[in-house]
Amino acid sequence: MLTMNDIKAHYFFTEEDAVLLKSLQPLIIDNQERMTALFYDYLLGIPETSELLKDDAKLERLKATLKSWFVELFSGRYDNQYLHALQRVGLAHVRAGLNAHFVNASMNIVRHFVIELLQEHYPEVKVRRSYRNAAEKIIDINLDILSASYQEEALNKVFVSHRLESKLITVAERFTYGLNLILVVALAGVSISVVALFSWDILHIFRGDVEKGILSALGSLLILWMMIELMDNEIKNLKGGHFNILVFIGVIIVALIREILISTLRRDELTTQAFLAGTLLILGVVYFLVAKSQKIRA
């Protein structure tokens, strides 16, 4: 964390500058009322800031605080205590809801007032320049410290938001991982059911219904093969792989093929078989388009 000495060094603020500013303090005290009137005339002329200054009692307190700050600006004593006092002022501005833009604009009013005051009382250019350089440095330092309060507040909001987002993302990831585990278990259960269905289809062969048994068993094997593909896809997904929609479309296609085989054995109506064949054709087109899309993307 920066100390006041660090900040002064960054602005090339020297002890000579402090002495020069201290020598200006009597002039500043004589003109503090004038500066305060100019400062608040400016703020009261802006709708956004005048809303914060409607209370007369509050306005008088703020004027007294401004006068004190303006005099301290030329105190010649700029230590860590001075830094902490400015940080409290900046925090008060943040809590009051004052936009940082108006802090910068208001400080510009102070800057111009001091420059004009020096022009009025120090006609010699060299002397006036030395005073002006010192005054501009301390004004910039004040603005830097006050602005830092807004930056810290913004960072705090971002930090809190980032922590909350990280926790939500972590919870969501764990929840999704849990659902994938449940899905794998469910697929394993369905696969066992398909094996049982295959065994039942085999029984039809031994009972003499050879054609139905073979076709049904073939359909069951196709479904079992696709269930293996589904489980393999989910396991890869759990390990961080990509979700492959083609596997799911393939399962539907295989199930439909099995239904067509059984429908043929049952000698269903032609419209039913045509509907199944049309659905299979549409799914085939969808499979082709998705596969082509994935190939182009790859």
Same-domain check for residues 97 and 217: no
Mean pLDDT computed over 154-183? 63
What is the DSSP code string of the chain? ---HHHHHHHTT--HHHHHHHHHHHHHHHHTHHHHHHHHHHHHHTSHHHHGGG--HHHHHHHHHHHHHHHHHTTSS--SHHHHHHHHHHHHHHHHHT--HHHHHHHHHHHHHHHHHHHHHH--SHHHHHHHHHHHHHHHHHHHHHHHHHHHHHHHHHHHHHHHHHHHHHHHHHHHHHHHHHHHHHHHHHHHHHHHHHHHHHHHHHHTT-HHHHHHHHHHHHHHHHHHHHHHHHHHHHHTT----HHHHHHHHHHHHHHHHHHHHHHT--HHHHHHHHHHHHHHHHHHHHHHHHHHHH-
**For residue 121, pLDDT beyond 50:** yes
- Where residue 295 falls among pLDDT bands split at 50, 70, 90? confident
**For residue 154, pLDDT beyond 50:** no
Q: Give tens-digit pLDDT for 220-234.
A: 777 777 777 777 777
Same-domain check for residues 11 and 159: yes
Range of the domain at 18: 4-163
What's the mean per-residue pLDDT of the chain? 81
Same-domain check for residues 220 and 114: no
Looking at 163, 196, 222, which one is the last position of a domain?
163
260 domain-assigned: yes
What is residue 242's predicted lDDT score, i.e. its pLDDT? 61
Q: Output 217 or 53, whichever has higher pLDDT.
A: 53
Q: Report residue 221 as tokens.
A: 């094997």
Looking at 99, 134, 163, which one is the last position of a domain?
163
Same-domain check for residues 123 and 248: no
**For residue 160, pLDDT beyond 60:** no
Same-domain check for residues 70 and 140: yes
CATH number at residue 26: 1.10.490.10
What is residue 193's predicted lDDT score, i.e. its pLDDT? 82
What is residue 114's predicted lDDT score, i.e. its pLDDT? 95
- Where residue 172 falls among pLDDT bands split at 50, 70, 90? confident
In this structure, are residues 116 and 41 in contact, taking their beta carbons and an 8 Å threshold? Answer: no
Same-domain check for residues 213 and 151: no
Same-domain check for residues 135 and 12: yes
What is residue 264's predicted lDDT score, i.e. its pLDDT? 72
| Number of domains forming the structure of the chain | 2
- Where residue 68 falls among pLDDT bands split at 50, 70, 90? very high
177 domain-assigned: no
Looking at 141, 163, 185, which one is the last position of a domain?
163
Same-domain check for residues 29 and 120: yes
Mean pLDDT computed over 271-291? 81
**For residue 265, pLDDT beyond 70:** no
